[in-house]
Amino acid sequence: MKIGIVATHSFPIPSPTHTGDVVILDLAKSLDEMGHTVNLYAPEGTHCTSKGKVFPMRASYGKYPPAGEDCEQECFNNHAESLRNEDIVHDFSVTKRIVQSLYNECRKNIISTIMGGAWMQSQQPHNLIVWSESHRDRVIRGATDYENTPTPNLAGINGNPVKEAHIVNGGIDTEYYCPTYEKKNFLLWMNRWHPVKGYSRAIEIARLCPDIEIVLAGEHPDREMFDYQKQCALEAVKLAEGLPNVKFEWLPADPHHHEAKRALYQQAKALLYTIQFNEPFGLSQVEALACGTPVIGTNYGSVPEVISDGVTGFVCENDVQKFIEAIRKIDNINPQTCREHAVRRFDRRVMANSYLTQYNEVISGKGWS
């Protein structure tokens, strides 16, 4: 099968800091290994599969302008003939300009994955994929990822309701994210510096439990691309002043960024996933599990679907005392069980096989809208 995968316009893949898009590369690599030809329509510098090629898209590198729709329309204009020759076009982009252009030509061999949030386009989507059951529920209704959470002020406007969406969980390279089972005595918070990621909640836990060591890992403020995230990192440092049980690990740039992440996952007793919004999926949960590290997460979004409560970690109400109770029980979780669940449910090949099922449905005329 010839498969064209349209990436987001933001960064080449893999990006050293914006790691969500790496799922696109893991999908392409897995499909390539299965014998398919995968072409990537993605920012220049994106890694290529062995049998396919990269058709370059202009990248914004997180800045505006250029607008996403401009980058995508330019990509379509430059590579329309190649896109038309794919057996299936799978669009992970932000504005879905490319698949809309193809559908306007009466081409039905398209699938769209929405990376997060609600469907924002005015036209109904065709063959839409979402990350989780909770994400599907919100997308169907047009609700934001901040619905019924402590951060509704960050939501922005609601999206447009859709008629149908199928679910394919994200996947990771479980050969790369692997365990050593050599644990140290610390809990890990590792995420983007943003209020919805819950760094203040992790520091609050440390303040109430001086016997618990917590490591907060992320980009150094001086390397943050966006001033808002730089200010959040500086706020975290200020909140942790005077707490000897809180340490900061500033992740290095490439080529050692992902190695440093993996080492922290491997060493931690647990990942504190103190999110304050409805995470559509959350790859870091799965990366931790694959490294044999249980997850203690807030019961928002996909967390109850990814974490088996009491088996691969604990799912907590958004209450500090509930987190502390879970932390006190973390030694009851078997790291090998965490690893087994990650490989069985969330390996990149599992994701690729799930997507192949969706591709075949669309190609055989069983699409959904």
My answer on whether 205 and 154 are in the same domain is no
Residue 368 domain-assigned? no
Amino acid at 327: I
Q: Read off the pLDDT band of 93 (50, 70, 90).
A: very high
Query: What is the side-by-side strand order in the sheet with 37-43?
Result: 54-57, 37-43, 2-6, 88-91, 110-113, 128-130, 166-167
Which amino acid is residue 184, in one-letter code?
K
- Residue 20: is its pLDDT beyond 80? no
210 and 79 both lie in a single domain: no
DSSP 121: S
Model pLDDT, residue 249: 98
What's 45's domain CATH number?
Answer: 3.40.50.2000
Find the mean pLDDT for residues 115-133.
Answer: 94
Structural domain containing residue 140: 2-171+348-363
How many structural domains does the chain have? 2
Task: Render pLDDT for 262-288 as a digit per residue (tens, 0 to 9).
Answer: 999 999 999 999 999 999 999 999 999
Are the beta carbons of 352 and 36 closer than 8 angstroms?
no
Q: 155 falls in which pLDDT band (50, 70, 90)?
A: confident
Task: Please tell me whether residues 132 and 204 are part of one structural domain.
Answer: no
319 assigned to some structural domain? yes
With 80 as the cut, is the pLDDT of residue 18 above it?
A: no
Give the model's pLDDT for residue 178.
98
How large a percentage of the chain has pLDDT more than 70? 99
Domain contains 117:
yes
Domain assignment of residue 65, yes or no: yes
- Is the domain of 354 the same as that of 310? no
Averaged pLDDT, 248-274: 94
Residue 17 — pLDDT band, cuts 50, 70, 90? low
Q: Quickly state the pLDDT bin for 157 (edges 50, 70, 90).
A: confident
Confidence of residue 19 (pLDDT cuts 50, 70, 90): low
Q: Is the same domain home to 156 and 202?
A: no
pLDDT tens-digit readout, 184-218: 999 999 999 999 999 999 999 999 999 999 999 99
What lies within 8 Å, CB to CB, of 324 at 6+ separation is 205, 208, 209
- The set of residues, in sequence order, having a beta carbon less than 8 Å from that of 201 and lying 6+ positions away, is 274, 276, 298, 318, 320, 323
- Residue 151: is its pLDDT beyond 80? yes
Closest CA to 38 of 348, 280, 255, 343: 348
